[in-house]
Every structure is written in structure tokens, then in C-alpha cells.
């Protein structure tokens, strides 16, 4: 009896550790590859835009969704497609706050692979155009 309880609790802790570690690994990769510019809590600074409370806004349009992958910090990072998908999904959950729609679709690995092959060169203008389009859609709905 005692042995089976021990085995069961070992099994349970392995299952929990596997789930936790995917989340922790994404967090770790954010710390290693992104937070130097984006800051630990996603606030950003200077020319680095704030992810916190805002990044989910881009998922309102297809181009915006693609933008989060095609932006050079994502597209040209040394993370592989699976790791980048995990970090972007981690960023969306961790930093979006109210800016993320409840029914959003998390990024998929093959989608990341396809989009990052086409990184953006000129970001600043492209980004402000995207945000203007999104704001305009919001106006049109009201
Ligand atoms: C060397 C600094 C730097 C690093 C490292 C960096 N970024 Fe960025 N990131 C930026 C800057 C600057 C921008 C604004 C767009 C631009 O000029 O490229 C940006 C924009 C973004 C955006 C779009 C946010 C918005 O509001 O426009 C995302 C998403 C993003 N980065 C993800 C990442 C991820 C994921 C990593 C790590 C794998 C990463 N970045 C690493 C500097 C960096």
C-alpha cells in the first residue's frame, strides 16, 4: 500500500513538473533572449515598445498577428520555431492584460516557421500604420 502511494505521488509530481517546465522554459527563454530590451515585466523603455497591457491588441487583425512574428526581435532570434511559438504565447498570456480577446488563437509552430521567413525591414512606420488600422476598425464598430 505504502509503495503504491509513493509510486502514485511520484507519477503525479512528474506530470506536474512536465506542465510547469514548458511554461518555465518559455519564461526562461524570454529572460535570456528578450527581456534585455523588453524588461522583465514587458514595460519596455525608449525605442522598445510596451508589451504590457498592449501586445494583445495586434491580434485583432491578421497583419497584426503576423507582425508579432515578423518583427526582427522575434523573427531573427536564435530560438527555433517551437521555442519562439512558446515565448510569444507566453508573452500574450503574461503581458496582454485586457488587450487580448478571450477567444484568441495561440500561435502554432508551423505558422511561426512560415511567417518568420519574411522578417520586416522597416518597422516603425509599418507598426504605426497597423495600429491606426486597428484603431479605425474599433471606431467603425462603435
Ligand atoms: C536588441 C533589443 C531587442 C531584443 C533582444 C528583442 N526585442 Fe523585441 N523589439 C525591440 C524593438 C526596438 C521593438 C520595436 C520594433 C522595432 O523597432 O523592431 C521590438 C518589438 C517587438 C514586438 C512587437 C511589439 C510592439 O508593440 O510593436 C514583439 C512581439 C517583440 N519585439 C518580441 C520579441 C521577442 C519574442 C524577443 C526575444 C526572442 C525580442 N523581441 C527581443 C527590441 C528587441
For 16-67, write each residue's pLDDT tens digit: 666 679 999 999 999 999 999 999 999 999 999 999 999 999 999 999 999 9
pLDDT tens profile 57-90: 999 999 999 999 999 999 999 999 999 999 999 9
Report pLDDT digits (tens) over 83-104: 999 999 999 999 999 999 999 9
78 Cα distance to chain centroid: 15
From 47, 61, 67, 71, mutation site for ligand 1 pocket: most ligand atoms within 8 A of C-beta: 71
Q: Say how many Å lie between the CA of residue 136 and the centre of ligand 1.
A: 24
Other CB atoms within a 10 A radius of the CB of residue 59 amount to 20
Nearest to 99 by CA among 42, 45, 142: 42
Ligand 1 contacts CB of residue 36 (under 6 A): yes
Closest by CA to 67, choosing from 46, 82, 49, is 49
> Which pLDDT score is estimated for 103?
95
Query: Could you identify the atom of ligand 1 that is nearest to the CA of residue 49?
Result: 26
72 ligand 1 Cβ < 6 A: yes
Q: Which atom of ligand 1 is nearest to the CA of 68?
A: 29
Amino acid at each position: 500500500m505504502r509503495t503504491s502511494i509513493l509510486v502514485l505521488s511520484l507519477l503525479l509530481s512528474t506530470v506536474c513538473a512536465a506542465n510547469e517546465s514548458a511554461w518555465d522554459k518559455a519564461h526562461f527563454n524570454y529572460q535570456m533572449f528578450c527581456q534585455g530590451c523588453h524588461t522583465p515585466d514587458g514595460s519596455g523603455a525608449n525605442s522598445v515598445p510596451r508589451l504590457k497591457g498592449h501586445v494583445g491588441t495586434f491580434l485583432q487583425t491578421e497583419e497584426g498577428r503576423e507582425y508579432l512574428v515578423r518583427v526582427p526581435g522575434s523573427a531573427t532570434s536564435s530560438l527555433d520555431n517551437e521555442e519562439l511559438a512558446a515565448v510569444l504565447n507566453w508573452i500574450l498570456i503574461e503581458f496582454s492584460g485586457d488587450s487580448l480577446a478571450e477567444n484568441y488563437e495561440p500561435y502554432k509552430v508551423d505558422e511561426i516557421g512560415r511567417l518568420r521567413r519574411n522578417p520586416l525591414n522597416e518597422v516603425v512606420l509599418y507598426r504605426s500604420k497597423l495600429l491606426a488600422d486597428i484603431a479605425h476598425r474599433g471606431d467603425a464598430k462603435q
